[in-house]
Structure 1
Amino acid sequence: MTDTATALEPLVARLTETAPGLRVETGPGSTGLYAYDASNYRVPPRAVVFPRSADDVVAVLRACREAHVPITARGGGTSMAGNAVGPGVVLDFSRYMNRILDIDPVARTARVEAGVVLDALQSATALHGLTFGPDPSSHSRCTLGGMIGNDACGNRSVRHGRTSGHIEALEIVTADGVRAVADRTGLHPVDAADAERVARLEADVRALIGDNLAPIRTELGRIPRQVSGYQLHRLLPEHGFDMARALVGTEGSCAVVTAATVRLVATAQASTLLTLGYDDVVDAAEDVPEILRWNPTAVEGMDEAIVATMRARRGPDSVTGLPEGRAWLYVELDGDDQAAVDARAADLLDVLKAHGRLTGGRVVDSPAERRSLWRVREDGAGLAARLVDGGESWPGWEDAAVAPENLAAYLRDFRKLLASHGLTGVLYGHFGAGCVHVRIDFDLATDTGRAATRRFLSEAAALVVEHGGSLSGEHGDGRARGELLEVMYSHTMIRTFAAFKEIFDPEGLLNPGVIVAPARLDADLALHTPSEVLPVETLFSFPHDEDGFAGAVRRCVGVGRCRSDSGGVMCPSYRATGEENDSTRGRARLLQEMVRGGTVQDGWRSEEVHDALDLCLSCKACSSDCPVGVDMATYKAEFLHQHYKGRIRPRSHYSLGWLPLTSRLVGHMARPVNALLRGPLGKLLARLGGVTTERRIPAFASRRALRRTLRGVKTGEPAKTLLFVDSFTRAFRPEVAGAAGRVLADAGLACTTEDDLCCGLTWVSTGQLSLARRIMARTVARLDNGDDRPIVVAEPSCAAALKRDVPELLDTEAARRVAARVHTLTGALTDLAAPDWRPPALPDDVVLQTHCHEYATFKSRHPRDLLTRLGVRNVDEAEGCCGLAGNFGFEEQHYDTSMAVAGLALKPRLDGIDHETPTVVVADGFSCATQIDHLAGDQGVRALHLAELLDPAADRPDQPGESS
């Protein structure tokens, strides 16, 4: 085979000639990202191509065939089996080929391009009362093309089965660049000129099936989740030579799918959810056959490790509604009438109680509880990857399936197998379909550990076959299980698989290394190279990661939740740009490459890593929303510190990073400085400081104003709290400090104030960590003085810095003691206020922008919940980052991205305000309030801090619009 490196240059030239405008990327900043999916494997490609049409795909496949370069088709990159990585060209369909081409509500079909994300299709079809049945837990980022490649299923597969059961036609490009349509009756050319080639291909397949009828009929299609191998039984005469469904599950190894026509199903009119508790997963599995008699839509299982990790990462209230137990089943029932569905659920619960295995069970009536519970299950893969005790676990044997009636026996023997190898597995999965997901604490970083992993996987394959099962139940074989197919299938069937692929791909260029002629399952492991290539002595302590920075960035296992377009806050830059290198996953993967000295060779000086981190808003949402707790804001701060060590920094690092110090000086001459900044000289100073001139520079407050407002805080009562007046409040809105003090006193939490300290946040966000540590050390020394009163911080970002950055940078007991005392105003009023406290009358409607750092760091103590509890009827929350994000949105090069992020959630809420009706906008974060002023200040909209809303001394506006 021609060396791909040698073939790359003429390949790119050929693509430029045959597909003008085609986006082709070959640098380490792209190939490093696409070297990974969500599996254990790392295979750096030579190039990444982003097609916009089927014609682009034809051009790529023809050029790659000429150059003899392999091709791997990729959707969301969420494969756990290594199906979406390859050594040649990776085709990313998710970036541009993501259009819904047609929805026919009468025929109940939709035609979609391969890169359409499942949630996008579901949103569009919901308008017609329809849905696509299979619903993998990765529904917010997996693509239809990827689902077709793996024959994906999902939580409701008990009802809707696999993707293959919902495919009417596939639009494909063959390895030699011929376009065709595979449907329920065969294969048809798109262009008349290709008729002979397509007819010959179909004839060869028909001949192959005819020669192997007996093994196909006896070995394939035995259980509902038999995904391993090729689905050649779909081509049997009794199935009508269904070429479309036969190509589902081929993992891009036979043809490249560019579009599909899928069948839709009606949305249920009524549904309910039961949660059932058990002592262990085997007891849960024993009840599955009985549950299936009740025609459920979903029967999902998980063990206690996942629940414990969720509660540790997102707070104790993040999982509610589970009965007592150490393992649980979710059972969903549906129907046309809610009362009838509820009655069935109650009857089923009674039957299961009579069986005697339940430790508890309940019907979950609350929609909020249901959403919370489903999120735990959907984040299972990520939560199981990095558990609450810090232990790591890996896929590899995460997808075996048996007949549901054999599940309990299989799980019993499987746990014995784990124990015999000294391994621990975190179990979850589609118990109603007999499909078990498990992440196991393999040692993949040493030769001894990898050898032990091979032995275990071989024995696990034999075990599942002994129980009549399949190596893969929905993730596909990929690089993880392809080598083991000989354990499951006869030599005749293995040869038949190989012959089928050869008909479609005689030169073996399509996704090589999977299913046919598979790579060794322990080849190309991402942990094969030790993570000590790059010296990683860091200023942050990374206390939750055994290997420090290397272990922290290794948290990312590629599940890709950061690529979601909705739900949670992560990742605002990806939502604004749609680019993989602007996702939390993309950045983490490049940092992994940097640590190992892989495609990224320049270590801390890497410009590729710098560019990938550039649009990170440091919002910290990933530290909460990411199932494995990646904290990209901290990684970015550490990288910037190392990257600029001993070098001149960007101008904005000085003008904005040192803002707490300069604002303190300006406070003594605020009036003339403000006048200066409003004039032409202000714009010049902004440019010189690397600050955008598109925004008004906020007016500085005088020290006198701060003193005046703090005088109003004196209550005469014994102080129960300490109000920490942060740099932003002190410099720009001292009135918030006064309001916060009065609210605390009103709530029985009278305070004293501390207004001469800084949390160091701006130095952290600009990566000036040595200075940040000095400032933090001074602050901790003052606060850790034997006073154990709660510290209340009105500015959420500063509260988060004190809570998390300070102990992780200083790594001292004093810092941890101070951090333990820190509350936001919301948290203080939620947890510490007098039980009988009631604030002044509140408006019925509030538009809320929650600060990202508060969302991420203070978990379930959110303003939305407090406002609702205090009597606000309608809290319209702009769920997402405001886009300003501290220094980010003030930097000239980031203004456009800042506004794009604001346009995702905040701006639509502000645009929807009816100025004829009093509407209050609440934003505790100074950045958020500044962005709101920038977006809607000209319309008279002003954001109130929660303290101002609850201030007992506040004047309540009566005129429409004034309260905004």
Structure 2
Amino acid sequence: MLDSKYQKFYDEIIKKIKKEKIFTDKLHTLAYGTDASFYRLIPKIVIKTDNAKEVQDIIELSNSMNLSITFRAGGTSLSGQAISDSILIVTSRNFSNFKISPDASFISLQPALTGAQANGLLARYSKKIGPDPASINAAMIGGIAANNASGMCCGISQNSYKTLKSIKLIFSDGTKLDTGCKESKDAFRKTHADFLRDLKSFSDDTKNNEELRARIERKFKIKNTCGYSINALIDFEDEFEILEHLIIGSEGTLAFIEEVTYYTVEDLKDKASALIYFKDMNEACSAVTKLKLARDSNQIIVDAVELMDRAALKSIENDSAMPEYIKDLDSEITALLIETRAINDKQLDIQINQIEELLKEFDVVREIYFTKDEHEYNLYWKIRKGLFPAVGAVRVTGTTVIIEDVAYPIECLAQATLELQELFKKYGYTEALIFGHALEGNFHFVFTQDFSDLKEIKRYDQLMNEVVHSVAVKYEGSLKAEHGTGRNMAAFIEVEWGHDAYIMMKKIKSLFDPKGLLNPGVIINDDKEAHLKNLKTLPATNEIVDKCIECGFCEPTCPSNELTLTPRQRIVINREISRLESIGEHKEAKEYKDLYQYDGIETCATCSLCSSACPVKIDTGSLTKHLRAEQASNSSKSIANFVANNFSTTLKGVRFGLHSANFIHKVLGTPSMETVTKTFRDLSSSIPKWSSVMPKATNINLNFEQKVSDKKVVYFPSCINRSMGLNAISKEEKELFDTTVEVLLKAGYQILFPEDLPNLCCGMPFSSKGFNEASNTKSSQLELALLNVSEFGEYPILCDTSPCTKKMMESFSHKLDVYEPIEFALKFLTEDLEFTAIDEPITIHTTCSSRKMGLEDKFRSLAQLCSTNVIVPADVKCCGFAGDRGFNFPELNKSALRHLKEQTVGAKMAFSTSKTCEIGLSEESGLDYNSIFYLINKVTKAKTL
């Protein structure tokens, strides 16, 4: 229940913004009250905004009512700057327009595009944006700019501050400004003359304060995001340049960023990386210092140097990508991950030799080896980017993972780092590890913390106070190098910067936000214990997800991320339910469960793509399946078992239903059919959605002529393809079964089928709904049948549906060579058939199962054998159809594929490897999606001997 002032705000804002985008319920306010930091505030109202006009309306109304607001983008913030106990404005994923200049020298980006999306847009031009945070796949542009986020390679030369061209802003009073538009600036001069005069005076005062100016120049020679970017006051003369650069790193406390225009940087494709092991921290830091000095004097080209201490290496030593010998390294060993990039391979070799020569004087444990292999060095960097979340996999359940972010002047790097390690020992943080961007003197240190114990909180406070003194006072470094001040270091800004600088920062805050309504408590906070308040705990809920640290890396991959909840938010809610139940608050826990049913369980596609984005492979889809199994009643389990034991009869029923639907469609016509079925769905959501691309019923005929051959293949047509055929608008003439048979016969195979085929199923339709017993029954039956027909694995087995193939591979206890269409085609059909690529543009969709089997690039390669023009939608991951869920919850499919139509423009044919996915893809794109085997059949002929 909202109090009167927030209720009044709600009543007014709902007149301007759709009700479904405004949340006041406990489920959504808790879900959005969580970012990647170890702080939590619960907003009173959450509003998802699609455009600048909506943000402007909210700001103007909140300003008139003196209500504070906070802006949130991707929520990967690590210092508590994206949470609120008032009004939280979330930039929805639809707030994502962009524009690239004709020469690709700059790009304009709205706030909800991720850094990875921006780089994807620029890839064709061999360009990228400068900032490269480890969270780039999930972090959005609004947050990247607002935090001046950097990363592995950008240092201080290619961050948002240095690569900013212009910016569009909305101020605390609702005023808009585009610093790239003369007319906008002229208008701002008229309405905000006093503002610009005060800003100019701040700049003049700072330039004339020799001590402060020298301090700013010195401190911004290294990475620094602690406090405001007051280097803007001495770097520029023009008021608008000062203004826009102050916004960078301001964490939503000065204005809302509507759009950022970045100068792009070169994305050199020739690169090499080496993981080099030094005898100890001192030796590694000394090597870093020499590399830094050599780079700054243009003696060598080195793009990134990442340090990992022995504890960091230990946290990843069991990763399959890491060499076995890491486990045997001594306790003092420290590694440097070094990357160098060049304009061509010849120049790359020169640079590698220069780096190796420079490092000869240092004591390395193993021979230095630079790899140019893309797969190999990408694995190294993927592991490095996942170090912070990886700590979560080894922490004690219930504890929080803390990541701090400091930078030292390079000349004192070794001494300061050794002192930091001694502080860990002093306060008993024996699990603490250090890693980071050593070339910039920027280290992250990570440790686990129990915030449910007051003694532990005191220990944390003591550690942090000593760290603050060591970093900021003794070594004059940065308390926050790239993660932003947030709530985490707001209490210590004056300690780092001194009185004059802190007073100037407070003046800047008052100038931009005179009422103090924008993200209060962040950056400017006079509470000296702010870092100890509103701490977030991570209670146990289910071992499937207990290791999650709520980093948010999973969110961009989730098909429900714009419709309902993300994997991170599902985990947040489950943790709260478990916490409430543990303290006996069962009534409130039940309230959460009721709210969670649709948002958390019904609209989870259980595609598990979240696990592929998660550095520690947490699979929230498995959690949903577990919860569905818990909810399954005995009667529903009995029905599932009956269906499993009478499967051929069930498929007959499916065919009958499809026959009936298509007959009625013919009688009524498409418009009437859509109207009638929509009416029935409005009355009961349990009635499946009908679509004009609904498949017709089909049956397969195993009685076809074929020759006996030494080359044999077992073909298991999935139950879905044994019952669902082509849709009513398809131009294809043959069913998938017949097409697959034609391809295999053309390739010279003798086709074998398992016994009792009509009753066989992989079990997926049951497991996705939580009917594990029925699923296991069907899986075991299929495994036995395939063992027999394949002569216990003598022959390869082809399944025509990727999700079914993956289910078989996961469930079978015997090792069988089971293939889905992509890998089977590449491994076998390319040997047996002659491919001639067509010129017609095609598009492909890689299913979730195929992605998890590592087939995304292979599908592209296969498609390129078939067509010279292959379109792959950049922002389409899981289609959201989720087996049969797309019939009952079509909104999930629609939301997941909201970018499909615009990103497949020009495609004439469309292909995938799963019938149910193809239904949803066809519905949302207007294209006729079919199995890739149709295209293979079209472009191939038998090889002549």
* TM superposition score normalised by structure 1: 0.75
Partner of 2:461: 454
Q: Compute the displacement of 1:472 (Å).
A: 0.5
Question: What CA distance in whole angstroms lies between the structure 2 residues aligned with 1:246 and 1:902?
Answer: 34
Aligned to 1:606, the other structure's residue is in SS state helix
Q: CA RMSD in A?
A: 5.5
Aligned to 1:90, the other structure's residue is in SS state strand
Q: Compute the displacement of 1:646 (Å).
A: 8.2
Partner of 2:730: none
Partner of 1:48: 46
Q: Compute the displacement of 1:8 (Å).
A: 0.6
Q: Say whether the 8 Å CA contact 1:803–1:820 is kept in structure 2.
A: no
Q: Compute the displacement of 1:18 (Å).
A: 7.5
Partner of 1:824: 818
Q: Compute the displacement of 1:955 (Å).
A: 12
Q: Say whether the 8 Å CA contact 2:601–2:628 is kept in structure 1.
A: no
Question: What CA distance in whole angstroms lies between the structure 2 residues aligned with 1:673 and 1:323?
Answer: 59
The equivalences for 1:248-259 within 5 A come to 248-259=248-259
The equivalences for 1:899-938 within 5 A come to 900=897, 903=900, 911=908, 923=913, 925-928=914-917
Partner of 1:584: 567
Q: 1:214 to 1:882 in 2, by over 3 A?
A: closer
Question: What CA distance in whole angstroms lies between the structure 2 residues aligned with 1:748 and 1:406?
Answer: 72
Q: Say whether the 8 Å CA contact 1:761–1:772 is kept in structure 2.
A: yes
Q: Say whether the 8 Å CA contact 2:132–2:150 is kept in structure 1.
A: yes
Instruction: Select 1:469's aligned residue among 468, 472, 477.
Output: 477
Partner of 1:855: 851
Question: What CA distance in whole angstroms lies between the structure 1 residues aligned with 2:754 and 2:229?
Answer: 72
Matched, 1:411 2:430: no
Aligned to 2:422, the other structure's residue is in SS state helix
The equivalences for 1:810-849 within 5 A come to 819=813, 821=815, 824-825=818-819, 840-841=832-833, 843=835
Q: Compute the displacement of 1:83 (Å).
A: 0.9
Q: Compute the displacement of 1:80 (Å).
A: 0.9
Partner of 1:202: 199
Matched, 1:664 2:648: yes
Partner of 1:432: 439
Question: What CA distance in whole angstroms lies between the structure 1 residues aligned with 2:456 and 2:736?
Answer: 59
* Partner amino acid, structure 1, of 2:523: I
Partner of 1:287: 287
Q: Compute the displacement of 1:904 (Å).
A: 7.0
Matched, 1:559 2:551: yes
Instruction: Select 1:691's aligned residue among 685, 688, 692.
Output: 688
Matched, 1:626 2:608: no
The equivalences for 1:52-91 within 5 A come to 54=52, 56-91=54-89
The equivalences for 1:655-734 within 5 A come to 660=644, 663-666=647-650, 678-680=662-664, 690-694=687-691, 695-697=693-695, 699=697, 701=699, 727-728=719-720
> Could you report, residue by residue, the CA deviation over 1:607-645 in whole angstroms, capped at 9, with x for unpaired residues?
345235443322222222322323232222233345565
Aligned to 1:479, the other structure's residue is in SS state coil
Q: Compute the displacement of 1:52 (Å).
A: 5.2
* Partner amino acid, structure 1, of 2:848: C
* Partner amino acid, structure 2, of 1:366: D
Aligned to 1:251, the other structure's residue is in SS state coil
The equivalences for 1:859-898 within 5 A come to 860=854, 864=858, 880-881=877-878, 883-891=880-888, 893-894=890-891, 897=894
Q: Say whether the 8 Å CA contact 1:32–1:600 is kept in structure 2.
A: no
Q: Say whether the 8 Å CA contact 2:115–2:137 is kept in structure 1.
A: yes
Partner of 1:567: none
Q: Say whether the 8 Å CA contact 1:799–1:822 is kept in structure 2.
A: no
Percent sequence identity is 17
Question: What CA distance in whole angstroms lies between the structure 1 residues aligned with 2:863 and 2:91?
Answer: 45
Instruction: Select 1:356's aligned residue among 352, 356, 363.
Output: 363
Q: Say whether the 8 Å CA contact 2:32–2:46 is kept in structure 1.
A: yes
Partner of 1:538: none
Partner of 2:728: none
Question: What CA distance in whole angstroms lies between the structure 2 residues aligned with 1:740 and 1:304?
Answer: 57
Q: Compute the displacement of 1:482 (Å).
A: 2.1
Q: Say whether the 8 Å CA contact 2:761–2:778 is kept in structure 1.
A: yes
> Could you report, residue by residue, the CA deviation over 1:570-611 in whole angstroms, capped at 9, with x for unpaired residues?
23344xxxx273533344334444444599853574234523
* Partner amino acid, structure 1, of 2:6: L
Q: Say whether the 8 Å CA contact 1:171–1:181 is kept in structure 2.
A: yes
Q: Compute the displacement of 1:435 (Å).
A: 1.1
Q: 1:754 to 1:38 in 2, by over 3 A?
A: farther
Q: Compute the displacement of 1:79 (Å).
A: 0.6
Q: Compute the displacement of 1:772 (Å).
A: 4.9
Partner of 2:519: 511
Q: 1:746 to 1:432 in 2, by over 3 A?
A: farther
Matched, 1:365 2:372: yes
Question: What CA distance in whole angstroms lies between the structure 2 residues aligned with 1:337 and 1:413?
Answer: 41
Partner of 2:731: none
Matched, 1:144 2:141: yes
Partner of 1:214: 211
Aligned to 1:478, the other structure's residue is in SS state coil
* Partner amino acid, structure 1, of 2:482: E
Aligned to 1:276, the other structure's residue is in SS state strand
Aligned to 2:274, the other structure's residue is in SS state strand
The equivalences for 1:772-791 within 5 A come to 772=775
**How many pairs were matched up?**
881
Instruction: Select 2:532's aligned residue among 522, 543, 550.
Output: 522
Q: Say whether the 8 Å CA contact 2:560–2:896 is kept in structure 1.
A: no
Partner of 2:29: 31
Question: What CA distance in whole angstroms lies between the structure 2 residues aligned with 1:52 and 1:604?
Answer: 27
Structure 1, unaligned stretches of length 5 or more? Answer: 532-546, 565-569, 807-817, 914-920
Q: Compute the displacement of 1:39 (Å).
A: 1.0
> Could you report, residue by residue, the CA deviation over 1:916-935 in whole angstroms, capped at 9, with x for unpaired residues?
xxxxx673x45456668889
Question: What CA distance in whole angstroms lies between the structure 2 residues aligned with 1:304 and 1:827?
Answer: 44
Aligned to 1:300, the other structure's residue is in SS state strand
Q: 1:202 to 1:674 in 2, by over 3 A?
A: closer
Question: What CA distance in whole angstroms lies between the structure 1 residues aligned with 2:162 and 2:570?
Answer: 36
Range with greater deviation from structure 2 (413-422 or 640-649) = 640-649
* Partner amino acid, structure 1, of 2:479: L
Partner of 1:572: 559
Aligned to 1:134, the other structure's residue is in SS state coil
Q: 1:692 to 1:586 in 2, by over 3 A?
A: same
* Partner amino acid, structure 2, of 1:160: S
Question: What CA distance in whole angstroms lies between the structure 2 residues aligned with 1:939 and 1:838?
Answer: 25
Q: 1:632 to 1:354 in 2, by over 3 A?
A: same
> Could you report, residue by residue, the CA deviation over 1:389-415 in whole angstroms, capped at 9, with x for unpaired residues?
987985544311112333333333323
Q: Say whether the 8 Å CA contact 1:657–1:763 is kept in structure 2.
A: no
Question: What CA distance in whole angstroms lies between the structure 1 residues aligned with 2:918 and 2:5?
Answer: 54
Q: Compute the displacement of 1:433 (Å).
A: 0.9
Q: Compute the displacement of 1:502 (Å).
A: 3.3
Q: 1:78 to 1:227 in 2, by over 3 A?
A: same
Q: 1:632 to 1:740 in 2, by over 3 A?
A: farther
Question: What CA distance in whole angstroms lies between the structure 2 residues aligned with 1:306 and 1:246?
Answer: 35
Q: Say whether the 8 Å CA contact 1:253–1:510 is kept in structure 2.
A: yes
* TM superposition score normalised by structure 2: 0.76
Partner of 1:154: 151
Matched, 1:762 2:765: yes
The equivalences for 1:228-247 within 5 A come to 228-236=226-234, 242-247=242-247
Instruction: Select 1:165's aligned residue among 162, 167, 182.
Output: 162
Q: Say whether the 8 Å CA contact 2:279–2:365 is kept in structure 1.
A: no
Q: Say whether the 8 Å CA contact 1:270–1:336 is kept in structure 2.
A: yes
Q: 1:53 to 1:868 in 2, by over 3 A?
A: closer
Q: Compute the displacement of 1:473 (Å).
A: 0.4
Question: What CA distance in whole angstroms lies between the structure 2 residues aligned with 1:767 and 1:592?
Answer: 21
Aligned to 2:456, the other structure's residue is in SS state helix
Q: 1:214 to 1:784 in 2, by over 3 A?
A: same
Q: Say whether the 8 Å CA contact 1:301–1:329 is kept in structure 2.
A: yes
Aligned to 1:157, the other structure's residue is in SS state coil
Aligned to 1:48, the other structure's residue is in SS state strand
Question: What CA distance in whole angstroms lies between the structure 2 residues aligned with 1:265 and 1:601?
Answer: 49
